[in-house]
């Protein structure tokens, strides 16, 4: 399995269609799972696309609109039936925490493992040794946040130079840790063989007008609201969503590497039209279908 795998479990806006489930994107990093939004039926989409729901550790909810969280009680309840023991962390915009708590408390779910609900505000949410997750505010008809997954930079040793010098594993580890080593009569400094590779960045910005934010600049993958085609621009303004064209323009401004469009209105039947509209502005655009997977 690749280090990063992103699976689009649902790509519809507001209501499901025959071919599209409600919003949910599952990011796996070395087996740790982060779920962005949890539309109704998300748990079944895990099964359909061969992903393990047990891997979910964090659920990042963009905002308190039904299409983004009606799947939550069902998913939590299924985890309990599967014998879940590890905690699940749920993240929601800070002002919406009481609503989500009330929503979950109103339903008997049989959950006997720890569930923590955290309030989201701009900035750092959590980090591990491998990655950090941030949030920044979007513009929608309710408080709504974008989520940014940033892999930690990786320190690597130049294999060719390691071979030339004939140094061994423990010494390479010392150099990677930033310490000089003494080898065959001389001191080798870390700069001679060690270099840093920047981590990869995934941005999830769904249910929003196009918003430029420094944190999203240089995203390897920008997952963006594309509820309407540009013909329906007025609807997008009224309902505070983005058109496909606007999402593409933003991807260009952010210098993203890949734009993945999602959250399509049921008015959009043909996704090749979406891709054609986006690619006029930003060539590396894809319209996500349910089950679409990116491996990095
Ligand atoms: Zn929505
Ligand atoms: Zn919404």
**Domains parsed from the chain with CATH numbers:** 4-153+198-295 (3.60.15.10), 156-195 (no CATH)
Ligand that lies nearest to the alpha carbon of residue 143, given by its number in the listed order = 2
Which ligand sits nearest to residue 65's alpha carbon? Answer: 2
pLDDT at residue 45 in the model = 98
Q: What is the model's pTM?
A: 0.93
Ligand 2 centroid–CA 151 distance in Å is: 28
Q: Which ligand is nearest to the CA of 263?
A: 1
What residues act catalytically? 67
Per-residue pLDDT tens over the stretch 35-92: 999 999 999 999 999 999 999 999 999 999 999 999 999 999 999 999 999 999 999 9
Neighbours of ion ligand 1 (CB under 5 A): 67, 207
Q: How far is the CA of 195 from the centre of ligand 1 (A)?
A: 42
Dump the DSSP string for 142-202.
S--EEEEEEEPPEEEE-HHHHHHHT--HHHHHHHHTT--EEETTEEEPHHHHEEEEPPPEE
Which residues of the chain fall below pLDDT 70? none
Residue 62 alpha carbon to ligand 1 centre in Å: 9
Residue 273: what pLDDT? 98
For residue 79, how far is its CA from the centre of ligand 1 (angstroms)? Answer: 25
């Amino acid at each position: 399995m690749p280090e990063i795998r992103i699976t689009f479990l649902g790509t519809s806006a507001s209501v499901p269609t025959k071919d599209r489930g409600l919003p949910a994107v599952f990011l796996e990093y070395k087996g740790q799972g982060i779920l962005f939004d949890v539309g109704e039926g998300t748990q079944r989409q895990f099964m359909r696309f061969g992903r393990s729901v047990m891997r979910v550790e964090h659920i990042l909810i963009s905002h308190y609109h039904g299409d983004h969280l009606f799947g939550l009680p069902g998913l939590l309840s299924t985890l309990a039936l599967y014998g879940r023991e590890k905690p699940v962390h749920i993240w929601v915009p800070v002002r919406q925490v009481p609503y989500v708590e009330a929503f979950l408390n109103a339903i008997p779910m049989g959950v006997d493992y720890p569930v923590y609900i955290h309030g989201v505000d701009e900035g750092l949410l959590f980090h591990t040794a491998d990655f950090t997750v941030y949030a920044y505010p979007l513009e929608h008809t309710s408080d709504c946040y974008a989520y940014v997954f940033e892999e930690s930079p990786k320190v690597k040793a130049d294999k060719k130079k390691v071979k030339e010098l004939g140094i061994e594993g423990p010494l390479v580890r010392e150099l990677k840790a930033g310490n000089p080593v003494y080898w065959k009569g001389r001191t080798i400094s870390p700069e001679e063989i060690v270099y840093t590779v920047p981590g990869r960045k995934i941005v999830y910005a769904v249910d929003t007008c196009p918003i430029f934010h420094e944190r999203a600049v240089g995203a390897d993958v920008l997952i963006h609201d594309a509820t309407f085609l540009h013909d329906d621009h007025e609807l997008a303004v009224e309902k505070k969503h983005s058109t496909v064209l606007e999402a593409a323009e933003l991807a260009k401004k952010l210098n993203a590497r890949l734009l993945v469009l999602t959250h399509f209105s049921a008015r959009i039947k043909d996704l090749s039209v979406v891709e054609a509209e986006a690619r006029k502005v930003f060539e590396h655009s894809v319209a996500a279908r349910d089950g679409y997977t990116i491996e990095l």
